[in-house]
Amino acid sequence: MPNPKPKLILVHEPEKACFGRLVGDGFPSERALEITSYLAQSTDLAPEFDALAAACDRRGLAFAPVELDNAASALAEADPSTTLVWTLTDGIAYFRGGAAPALARLDGLRTIGADDSLFALCQDKFRSGAVLGALGLPVPQAGLARDGKWLVEPPASAAGWFVKPNRLGAKIGIWPDSRVSELDHALELSRRVFACYRDDVVVQPYVAGRNARASFLGLKPDTGVEALGIAFVDSGGDFQTMQDSLALYGETGEAARAAGAYIEPELVAVGDSQPAADARIRRIAERLIQGLGLRDVFSIDLRVEADDTVHLIEFEVCPGLPCFDFRDYCRAQWGLSLADAMAEAAANRLGDGLRRG
């Protein structure tokens, strides 16, 4: 009897399923649409599932995209000796993708990406900031407010503060007035965020600099920080709002592009103009890999000042794979399309496991 073909299972939470659940939970349709827009990488990648299947087949793998609601049964039926699970969409609050790596672990299946504990940590910005600070990383200190009341007061800041949701959207400020000069304004924003999204807000001292992103895909299990793609992401604004985010992905992004309301941000390699900052970001990534356990696929968002001061804003264990920046990274670093890069990483991970098994 022939050996079963190794298989890559890609678990993803569709926008539509999440939208229905949020509306059923009492969110107005407009807010539910905004929230579910963060799952648009499922929408954007779905048209490429055939290309992914073909790329996997060329490398001797089967490919199975599985919607999150079907993941428990699909993973329970999978063969631990020949299966690799890749979780496309994360979440512990509005979204539920963080359950997938936990289910995989429960069923004894290998995964690509960080372990399930980091899926939970990265979605809670206040807690993750505390852990990153304990690791000695340059993350801004933070206060925490809920519906107009301080749970933790923020530190003093001569430059003002930046206000963002704790569990929704990571670094975005939701509204254009999310940089504030008065803490009363921060509390007002916390009331607005709570009313609209039922979330707390993180209030951090405002840090200057250009927005930068470090992208990573470990094509081979021993790939290190030399493979990071580190670029300034210049979109014309100081920070991203909800409206900016809606223009990046999914159906809302398609509409924005069709209407001419979206200009793709420019990517410029940090090392071209600030090699010292590039080196610092690689050391930060190395610390995240060693001290936190990031691996295989992740991204890091940062602010870089002109004097090479680097501020770590957040890390993501489910970076936006179909987004322009990660596609550009796959082409520039690996010379591969997104589908081929994903399939190659999965084949190498499975092959390494099969050899060791």
Say whether pLDDT at 47 is over 90: yes
Tell me the C-alpha to C-alpha distance, in Å, between residue 28 and each of 32, 166, 185, 229. Answer: 6, 20, 25, 39
- Give mean pLDDT, residues 227-242: 76
Say whether pLDDT at 237 is over 90: no
**Res. 87 pLDDT band, cuts 50 70 90:** very high
Of 71-85, 113-127, 171-185, 341-355, highest mean pLDDT: 71-85
Pick the CATH number of 210-334 from 3.30.470.20, 1.10.3720.10, 3.10.20.440, 3.10.20.740: 3.30.470.20
**Res. 32 pLDDT band, cuts 50 70 90:** very high
Tell me the C-alpha to C-alpha distance, in Å, between residue 174 and each of 64, 165, 227, 263. Answer: 35, 8, 32, 19
Q: Please tell me the least confidently modeled range out of 12-26, 168-182, 200-214.
A: 168-182
The reported pLDDT for the residue numbered 1 is: 47
The reported pLDDT for the residue numbered 221 is: 86
Domain-wise residue ranges, the chain: 7-122+336-356, 141-205, 210-334
Rounded Cα–Cα distance for residues 217 and 304 (Å): 22
Domains 7-122+336-356 and 210-334 share a fold: no
Say whether pLDDT at 147 is over 70: yes
Of 1-5, 240-244, 287-291, highest mean pLDDT: 287-291
- Give mean pLDDT, residues 125-147: 96
Q: What's this model's pTM, rounded to 2 decimal places?
A: 0.90
Q: Is 336 left (phi over 0), alpha (psi -120 to 50) or beta?
A: beta
Architecture in CATH for domain 7-122+336-356: 3-Layer(aba) Sandwich (3.40)
- Give mean pLDDT, residues 70-87: 97
**Res. 357 pLDDT band, cuts 50 70 90:** very low
> From the DSSP assignment, how many helices (H) and strands (E) are in the chain?
15, 14
Say whether pLDDT at 260 is over 60: no
